[in-house]
Amino acid sequence: MALLELRDIHKTYHLGGETIRALDGVSLDIDSGEFISIIGPSGSGKSTLMHILGCLDSPTSGTLRLDDTMIHDASSRQLASIRNKKIGFVFQFFNLLPKLTVRQNVELPMIYSGHSGKERRERAMTALRRVNMEDRSKHRPSQLSGGQQQRTAIARALVNDPRIIFADEPTGNLDSHTGELILEMFDQLHNEGRTVMLVTHDPEIAAVTPRRIEIRDGKIANEADPTLAGKAPRFEQITNSEAKPTT
């Protein structure tokens, strides 16, 4: 059984009488331990999909299963708990709390999972060590470079030991060298057995991941294993292969 199972997910926005189909019937299976990249033009619905996968947003229609939880009709309490324990989310704009230090930022998820102060500190430092940030633990986000902020955000995503990591353009605001470093970290996380999924604009990055999903106009346009990875092409059922303009 797949870890994540999406069936006919729609997400529609209504803006001043206009209907925007951010996601227009997405079906997808993700197995445990996969390393996936999502590519597609701007406005195609990548972030929307990631947010729904990450239990941050709910679909307008369609079903979504994670493990044995039906996410589409889970309570907000269940969703919060899943975000807290099963999922680590890394954002393009880091989303660190400016008033807290690096360590306190990393501790944040553990506050909501009810860990004691001592345990929080220890685990936060371990996570910071993993991303090479332990010597910056007392700094505030505004005193860090973009790469350092993103590493802090990764430490925060890791600290509750989630099985799945979602990252929405994690290297979008970084120079290519720093981006590579961050990417290596995701590769490591994948090698540890975690399921990693990231959104990117960069075909070179997408080429690194074993599985690649392309989104166009809210639909999965094409999914293939990148030939660069040297594996046999693996075409899956393509849903809504015709790209229709959104109306």
Partner 1 sequence: MNFGTVIQSGIKEIGAHWFRSLLTMFGVICGVASLVTMAAFVKGKENLLRESLAETGGLEKITVESEDDLPDYQKHLEGEAKGVTLKDVYALQAGAPMVHDITPSINKSRYRGYLRVSRKGRGARPWMLQGTWPSALEIQEHEIEHGRMFTMMDDLLANNVCVIGTEIRNSLFDEMDEQGETIIPIGERILINYVPFTIVGMFKEYMSDEDRKKKEAAKAAGETRSRRNMFSRGGDSNTRRTQYIYYQKNNAIMVPLNTLVAKLDSSYETGSVLDRKLSEITMKIEDVSLLSPSLQQVRNVLMRTHKGLEDFEFETQEEFADDITLAIHNERVSGMFIAGICLLIGGIGIINIMLSSISERVREIGICKSVGATTMDVFTQILIESVVLAVAGGLAGLAISPILVNTLASLADDTTPPIMTTQAMLIAFGFSALIGSLAGLFPAIKAAKLDPIQALRYD
Contact status: 22 vs ligand ATP (CB under 6 A): yes
Q: Which residue is nearest to ligand ATP (CB)?
A: 47
Please state, in angstroms and rounded to a whole number, the distance separating the CA atoms of residues 87 and 17.
Answer: 35
Q: Verify binding: residue 47, Mg ion, rule CB under 5 A.
A: yes
Beta bridge partners of 65: 5, 70
Report the partner that residue 112 touches, choosing among Mg ion, partner 1, ligand ATP, none (CB closer than 5 to 8 A by kind).
partner 1
**Interface with partner 1 (CB under 8 A):** 51, 54, 56-57, 76-77, 80-81, 83-85, 89, 91, 95-97, 99, 108-109, 111-114, 116-117, 156, 160
Which of these segments, 8-16, 30-38, 41-49, 238-246, binds Mg ion (CB under 5 A)? 41-49
Q: Is 195 in the site for ligand ATP (CB under 6 A)?
A: no
- Please identify, using beta-carbon distances, which residue of 116 and 247 lies nearer to partner 1: 116
Please identify which residue in 37, 47, 105, 152 interacts with ligand ATP, judged by CB under 6 A. Answer: 47
Token representation of residue 190 = 């994948």
Q: Report if residue 93 touches ligand ATP, rule: CB under 6 A.
A: no
> Any residues with CB less than 8 A from the CB of 194 and at least 6 apart, and which?
33, 162, 163, 164, 165
84: partner contacted, choices partner 1, Mg ion, ligand ATP, none (Cβ within 5-8 A by kind): partner 1
d(C-alpha 228, C-alpha 247), whole Å: 36
Q: What is the pairing mode between strands 87-90 and 164-168?
A: parallel
149: contact with Mg ion by CB under 5 A: no
44 binds, among partner 1, Mg ion, ligand ATP, none (CB under 5 to 8 A by kind): ligand ATP
Q: Which does 91 bind (CB under 5 to 8 A by kind): ligand ATP, partner 1, Mg ion, none?
A: partner 1
> How far is residue 232's CA from residue 218's CA, in Å, rounded to a whole number?
27
The verdict on 15 binding ligand ATP (CB under 6 A) reads yes
Of residues 2, 3, 20, 56, which one binds ligand ATP by CB under 6 A? 20
Distance between CA atoms of 136 and 128, rounded to whole angstroms? Answer: 9
- Amino acid, res. 117: G
Q: Site residues (CB under 6 A) for ligand ATP? A: 13, 15, 20, 22, 40, 42-48
